[in-house]
Structures are given as structure tokens and as C-alpha cells.
Amino acid sequence: MPQSPLSPVPHPSLSRDLQSDESAPALLHSLHQVRSSVLSLAANKEYIFSGSQNQDISVWDKKTFTLKNTLRGHTGSVLALEIAKEKEWLFSSSGDSTIRIWSTVSLTPIYVLDPYLETDAGDLFSLSWSPTLQTIYIGCQNTSLQWYDFREPLSASVSSFTPPTSFSESLASASGTSTPSSQATAMRKVHKFFDSYPQYERKPADIFARNARGGASSPDSDHNLNMPLPQGYLSIPAENVIDSAHYGYIYCMAIFDGGGHSVQLATGSGDETVKLWDCTEKGPVLVHEFECTHGAVLALIARGETIYAGCQDGYVKVLDLETKTLVRTILVQECVDILSMSMINSDLYTCSANGYIKRWSPSFDCTASWKAHSGIVLSSTITPRNGSTNSGFRLITGGNDNYIHVWEITPPRRRPHNTHHGITATDEILPGDGGQQSAIDTMTYALSKFVSIPSISSSPRHTEDCRQAAIWLKKCLAQLGARTSLLPTGEGKNPLVLGTFSGTKGDKPNPRVLFYGHYDVIPAPPDGWESDPFTLTGRNGYLYGRGVTDDKGPIIAAACAAADLLARRALGLDLVFLVEGEEECGSAGFGECVRKHKDLIGDIDAILVSNSTWIGENRPCITYGLRGVVHCTLEISSNLPDLHSGIEGGAVVEPMFDMVQLLATLTDGNRKVRIPGFYDHVRPQTPEEDELYALLSNITQRPASSLSSRWREPSLTLHTIEISGPKNATVIPGLVKSQLSLRIVPDQDLDTIVRALCDHLESSFESLKSPNKLQIKVEHTADWWLGSLDDHWFKALESAVQDVWGVAPLRIREGGSIPSVPYLEKEFGCHALHLPMGQSSDQAHLSNERMSLTNLHKGKLVVEQFLLNIAEKYTPPSSSR
């Protein structure tokens, strides 16, 4: 069958585009560095400092935007700049494997700091200064983390150099200083690279070498560059080094230093991790490692209790220090590296390799996007306009187009202090805590994209649409804070989406709840639809679209519930999403895939399902039972071609008569199933069920017997009879097919029922003495499921429904089947719970499928409250996992 063109796949980002033509900040001024990329930026109240690829640091006056000075001495690209405000120092690190320290007042060099092992440290990519500990931390190319403590007396570790007389005199003349005689004999150590002779001279390095390239530690190079000589040379001792702090280059660092007793350092690396270190008197101690899994971490921002990690392939990971969890992922632009980030209050600015800068709100929406540089945006910083926060702020960016741009920005307003779920908020907006309206907007925005993908699993024409739906959902869950992957279910079958929201880490293991759903939908013929079935349409308080209630709406609601708890630092358990793409056509490959990847899924304590509707319109429900199902196809053939009834009628045994007689043996005149032993093990109805059905009968105005027959009694249904031939009134078909199904209930055994059905059909057909042939094919089966009403999990869910809706939920059962629910219970050895979100009129599988906005929003809140209830009362099993 020819494939139809792939339906348009929605952009995977969950961040709403709230920008306008006026939302980009105004470009205030541009500064040009001739033939030199701007690799690093820093600013104080008077100056803008820019580190360049050409080894120099340019100093720009913030008021006049004129070049004030050029700091020379490095012999490699200036990769990082860091200001120590209280000391009036500027630190610079370089590809020459040195750190230089400059006075931000006199704009002169103070010290040169050599890392341990000197050039073996490689490029020094990142710097962070702790005012509390008076310590500079350095991230190195050789994967080491090094530091230098300036609280220690410097006299023992500073070395100075007095060159030959003529050099000393010329230097003194140039700088207006003289070298104290007490330092005349203090010789710095030889630098094996910067103090080397040209190779052809075959001479060992010494401090008098005149390396033509100039040395980062070479006083001769400092003199030739017409810069005053540093006061001394410092070296990082061996004990101030953590070798292999990462398994990749340490590209970026951010420090949490509020001036108190606790200082923490975050480091980002090419190994795709962010590590968190407690900075002690003896050095950093690793306390946690975040897996980012989106390429190298190239930029870090620290705010409050939150780390923002900009990654190589265009994602920003939002990480929480207190709970040690991933809060959210912002998709800036896939496959476009994020090289720098800056933040003011709750506004995050991301700078990307395509030259664009984007601004993100606390609800992770994009509020501005503009082309800032003609090349790559390499660096950024935010600084007050005139040294005072009352005078406004400016975003300063540098690129490989040799320009520095100064942008006028307005920070967001701060909010008053408050508390939320026991967590005290700072006076800045917490990331992701944009209020309930923000969560609602994210949910409906995500659902509109999800519904737009026609993931019809029963149609080969939509195989690629189903795959794209799985990919989209994987990215959706990842942005909401989950670790995600796709699990293959076999050739020609749609993959499972696995996503794990990890809760707050504690002393005891977290409970783990598995949320099961399916992203595939049934076909949506346009007849009867008042709007496009694959365009989410709001009308009179309802959202219309195929899959909105079965089952895409509940999936998005549950995912947003987890994301909202993460944002509030209130997710006290692990929520594992397992979403399949074959539920509407029998869950092919599901069980085998789950068994194969069970270790990846992990231990599960309970299963939550949301894949059905209420019994009525106004009263919330919890489903505690499902019937099982056996789908069977019968085929009777004569091995003859289709015949003309006027010529062959009466001369042949017609397959149609055989089929009619065979189907007639399945039930009696009272519609009772005649398969031997069919009713033998049906569980009797209890007095408690009698009371429940009586209550539901009063509420729904339906007979209690009708509810009982639909939910807890087995049944047989004939679905189709199909014939070969042109299907006109003169043809004797040579082939007749029929489809039937059995619904089974507790305590019928599925395998026993299947065998009894096949045995009955075969024996009944044999009694017809027909020359025709019968073929029986059991297409797929699903076992019945019955939940435990006394289970503490059920009570936690019931309590959550009552808290949100203000009324106790009705306990109902379903006549339909969900094959994966009983399977998952048996596979993981735990109980399942079923939370229907939609109303009975939601038209699942029919035209104009819908769900009310109220049910969607409150469904999300019920899931949140259920997860909170479980986390609060959970007691881990006595045996460790």
C-alpha cells in the first residue's frame, strides 16, 4: 500500500512563543575589536572587560563606550574573566595555561598564577571566585579542578624576577617603579614552554630565554608589550588539585556564595554532567552529579537554589540543589549549541551558536528572540548601567563577528515572599513557579501539539506518524523534567516511550509509581466531526480532537502534574511513564518489550492508569474493575470460486449456511453463552456490590441489573460477517469470515476460556458434516482486572479525588478491556489503579471526541494530590531493593 505524505510534525518545544516585534531589547551601542572574537566578558561599575582571541583584554569605559586600556600579557586566547569585587581584582584565564590577576582600579597586572603542572593543565576554560573563601576556582582542559586560596599569606608562595640590569632599568622607567633590592635574588621557576628557546638552538629552557612568542610567565614578554611587570608569580600547590574531576573538559563553573558559611560550586563538562561541590576549607568535596544527557555542558548560571545548564545541542537543564532533581528542560533550538547564558532576577538569556539570543520567563516561555550577532554569540554578562541597580541594566554580548553589543534590558519585577508546600520562596520568582495559570497553559499548549499528530496505529499509512508521535512525546516529557528514551517493540511496531520523573532524594528509597498510557488513536473519518479531528479546538468549555480523552489528554495532564510538583520541589516519589503506541490494535509487542527492558524501567510499587471515562457527567469516579477480552476470527471456505446462485444454488454446500449454523451454536434463546463451562468460575456478586449497584442506579437512573451485566458478567458479541465476491444478490460466496469477541470476568481463566471456545467451535462445525473448511484464529486476548478497594494506594487516590472535587468519587467498573493493566500488575507484582478523567459523553472512539477543560485541569490536580499523598505516607518495604 503506498504511503501517504507525512503529516506536519509540530515543533517539540513546550515553551510558548510570547515575543513580539517590540519585545527584543534596544541595541544601545556597539564596540568593535579588530579581527578578534570576543571570548569572554566581565563588568564592574566603571568598565567592561572583554577577553579576545588575540590574547588581549580590552577595557571599555561604561559611560563613554571608549577604549580605556588594553591589558596585555597572555599569549593565548583569553577564555574566561572573573571579577573579585571586594578586592578590586580581575582574574583572566587563557589558552596559555596561566591565570593573570589585574587591578580593576589601576588596570595593571598584580600576579600571574600558574596551575599545578603548568601547561599540562591545558586551556583554562573557566573561573569562579568565592568572596567568602577568598578562593579562585579554575576548570581545566586536562579535566582537573584547581583552586588557590588568597587568605593564605602570599609571601611564601610569591616569587618575583629581576632581569639583567638594562632590562630592569628600562622596566622601572616605563612603570615608574623600582624593584626592591630584597627581591633581587628571588627567582621564579623556569616555565618549560614560555621560557623556551627556538628548537633549532637546542638549548634547555631558562628564565633568560627570549621566546619570540612571548611567555605568559615571561617578564621579557611583559616588558615588550609595554605593560608593568606583575608583582609576583604564584603557583597552585599539588594539594589544591582534584585530578579527573570530570571525564571531559571543564568548560564552565558557577558558584553559590551568599556570604554565609556554606559555599557550593557547580562545574559543567564535556562529559555531559554537572557536578555539585561543597567548598570546604580543605577544598571542594563532591556532593552530587547531575546527568544532562544533551551534549557537553558549555554554560552555567546559579540562582538561589537552582542551576541552569546550557548544553551543546540546544537544551537548558534546570536543576534544583535542594532536592537534587531535574526540574525542567528548556528546548532553545535543537542542535544549536548554547555557549553563554546570563540572568537578571527571573529572566534567563540564552546565547546560541546561530547568533540568536532568547529571553525566557519563569514559566519557561520565550518572551524575546533576536539576531544579536552575525556570527556565533560566544559570551555575555549583565551589569547595572551606572554601577547602581536603580539606574537600569544592560546585557552585554560578544561574538565571533568581532563585535561587543550593549543592549538595554528591563528586569522582571520581584514578587513578595511567600511559602508553597512548605518551601519558602525567595524574593525572586522561582523557576517554573509561574502559578497555576502557567501550568494550565503548558498543558493545553502541549496537548494541542500532541493531538495534531494522527498517530493511528491500525493504519500502515500512519506508521511514520506514530513514530513521530513517540519522538514528540519523548521530547515533551524530557522538557517537563523526565529522563526519557524510546524502547523498540519489534519490526513494524510502534515504540514505547519511557520517561522517569525523579523525586527528591532522601535517606530512604522513593516509592515508584508507573503511569501507563497510549499515544496511538483510532481512525477519525471526517463524517460527523464539527472541526478537524487533528486540530485541538476549544468550544463551549470543551476541547475537541481525536485522542483528547483517549488517551492523549490524560497523559499530558499526568506529565504536567509531575512537572508542577518538580517546579515546587514537592515531588517526593519517582513517577515512571510507560506509554505505548499499539493499544488500539491489541498492544502487540508490549509485554515482550517490558520484559526485555524491565531493569531499565526499575522496581514499581503501584501502577496508575487513566484511560476511560466516568459513568455520568457530574460525579468523579474511580474505576476498580475491567473485563477481559478474547478476539477471534472465523473463516469458512469451500475451496471453490464464487458461484452464481441461479446455476449452482442447491448443488453445493454453501459456506454462508455453515457460518450461520456455527454462530447459532454459541448462544441459546436467552442469549446465554453455550460454550461448555463458560460460567463455571464466574465470581458471585457480593452484598457490598448489591449496595454499590443500587447507589449507582439511583445516581445514573439506570437499572442495577444493567450495570451488573455490563461490568461483572461475561458476554459474547458478534461483530462482522464478510463474504468474498462482488456482494450482490446472485452470488454464492466461496469464503465467509466472521469476527466475534468474548468478555470475561473474575474468576474466569483466560487460557481455559480460549481453549473451550476453540473446542466448541471445532466440535460444532464437525457435527455439520460439511465438506467446507473451518479456520479459527484468536487475534488477541486480555485478562480481566479487579482492583483492591481496601488497598492504601486506592485510598490515597480516593482521598485525592475528594480533595480536588469536594465530593467522594463513585466506585465503578468498566465493561471494556485494557490488555496492559493486568499484565503490568503480574509483571511488577503490584496493584494497579484506574483514574478516569473524562465524562461519559466524551465520545471516545466516536466523532467529536472531547474533554472539558474543567476535567482536564482537575484531573491534573488529582494526580498531583495522589502523588503527594503517597509520598507522605509511604513506608518502604523491609527488604532493600
- 520 is an active site residue: yes
Tell which residue, 625, 831, 623, has the closest CA to residue 713.
625
Q: CB of 240 within 8 A of CB of 250?
A: no
Q: CB of 251 within 8 A of CB of 296?
A: yes
Q: What are phi and psi of 445, to 5 degrees?
A: -65, -45
Q: Which residues contact 558 (CB under 8 A, 6 or more apart)?
A: 515, 517, 575, 577, 608, 610, 860, 863
CB atoms within 10 A of CB 29: 14
d(CA 434, CA 428): 12
d(CA 586, CA 597): 20
Q: Cα dihedral sign for 533, 534, 535, 539?
A: positive
> Crossing angle, helix 687-700 and helix 704-711, to 10 degrees?
120
Of 401, 520, 582, 864, which is the active-site residue?
520
d(CA 865, CA 410): 37
Whole-angstrom Cα Rg for the chain = 36
Q: CB of 410 within 8 A of CB of 387?
A: no
Dmax (CA) of the chain: 129
In this structure, which amino acid lies at residue 599? D
Peptide linkage before 551 cis (omega within 30 of 0)? yes
DSSP state of 508: S
d(CA 68, CA 773): 98
Helix (H) or strand (E) holding 125: strand 124-130
Per the rule left: phi > 0, alpha: psi between -120 and 50, beta: everything else, 165 is alpha
Q: 390-413 burial, b if ≥16 CB within 10 A, otherwise e?
A: eeebbbbbbbbbbbbbbbebeeee
User: Hunting for cell 532568547 — which residue is that?
Assistant: 358
d(CA 145, CA 14): 36
Of 401, 583, 798, 814, which is the active-site residue?
583
Q: In what order do the strands lie in the sheet with 356-360?
A: 338-344, 347-352, 356-360, 366-371
- 583 is an active site residue: yes
Q: CB of 369 within 8 A of CB of 358?
A: yes
DSSP secondary structure, 211-275, as one string: -TT--TT-HHHHHHTT-PPPSEEEE--GGGEETTSSSS-EEEEEEEE-SSS-EEEEEEETTSEEE
d(CA 444, CA 559): 12
Q: CB of 601 within 8 A of CB of 578?
A: yes
Tell which residue, 491, 457, 464, has the closest CA to residue 579.
457
CB atoms within 10 A of CB 324: 17
What torsion do the CA atoms of 554, 555, 559, 565 make, to the nearest 10 degrees? Answer: 30
Q: CB of 96 within 8 A of CB of 211?
A: no
Cα separations in angstroms, 737 against 428, 631, 656, 770, 772: 68, 14, 9, 16, 13
In this structure, which amino acid lies at residue 453? I
In this structure, which amino acid lies at residue 414? R
Grid cell, residue 171, equals: 622596566
Where in the sequence numbering do the catalytic residues fall?
520, 583
